[in-house]
Amino acid sequence: MTLRAGLICAIVCYALWGVLPVYWKALSFIPSPEIFAHRVLWSFVFMAVVCVFWRRFDPRPYFRDRRALLLLAAAGAAVSCTWGIYIYAVNSGHIVEASLGYYINPLLSIIAGVVFFGEKLTAFQKIATGLAAAGVLYFSFDYGVFPWISVALAVFFGLYGALKKKGGYPPAPALAIETSLMAPLAVVFIICTFARPERVFLTMNGPWPPWGAVAGLICGGAVTAAPLLLFARAANSVPLSTIGFTQYLSPTLSLLIGVFVYKEPFTQAHLICFALIWTGLLLVSLEAARRRPAET
């Protein structure tokens, strides 16, 4: 893949992630745990179909390798937690807080590099992580609520990235195995909740016709997995420093959607918290851009 095609994949990937709140918000008449369970199940089905057409994939070596199985199971659990928290955040009116989590994530990824891979923090990285911590603390004390959604999303997605780097497995097969390990739990949950009388979304009394609600849940698998595949293709052909800049497209779009479309509050506490984190991200990005020519 050419650099231009890879960059297009990266931009489309982050743009899709950025507007994803609109999709989950449209399904908000369905309980969030059920949306989450269907998201896991249909992501697995989508990836299984992809791997069937990608005939070079053989899942047996992954299930025979204890290290691979443990890493992929942990990665599957981490990304599943991210999916579940994000759906809850969107459908409970916390899109702004969710976008904050994805701004924090690159800075937590730096910390993960220190913890898991023995990397050393540069002076700018130390300042950036300090600013992020200060922003979260200021928000917690001034707004009166700890932004647990933001922190949880950043932690789980950062852990997912660290586990993916630790494993180093091909993206599509790895995602297929991860979702296959989580899918049985999702199926059990769906079966246990299927007979509940309050399942309005499968009756003509719901805001969508039953077939529309089911189609929305099923398509959630493709909506989840497709951006991950686009990101994997981009990562193979685009410098990480370039991807580092484009990744801020996603939380920026989500932030704008939360504030201007769904009218979520954006207070002075939000502004100061975001400003501190944005400053830290700017320092890290400028440092990465400055160091790249020297390394090449």
What does the pLDDT look like over 196-211, one tens digit per residue? Answer: 655 555 655 567 777 7
Cα dihedral 167, 169, 171, 176 in deg (nearest 10): -90
pLDDT tens profile 5-31:
878 888 898 899 999 999 999 998 888
At what angle are helices 32-53 and 171-193 packed, to 10 degrees?
140
Instruction: Please state the pTM of the whole predicted model.
Output: 0.87
Dihedral sign for Cα atoms in the order 180, 74, 168, 240: positive
Q: How far is CA 269 from CA 132, 139, 147, in A?
A: 14, 5, 11
Domain boundaries, the chain: 3-295
Cα–Cα dist 89/267, whole Å: 18
Mean pLDDT: which of 119-123, 127-131, 173-177, 180-184 is highest? 180-184
> Are 11 and 249 a contacting pair, CB within 8 Å?
yes
The beta strand positions in the chain, using DSSP E, are none
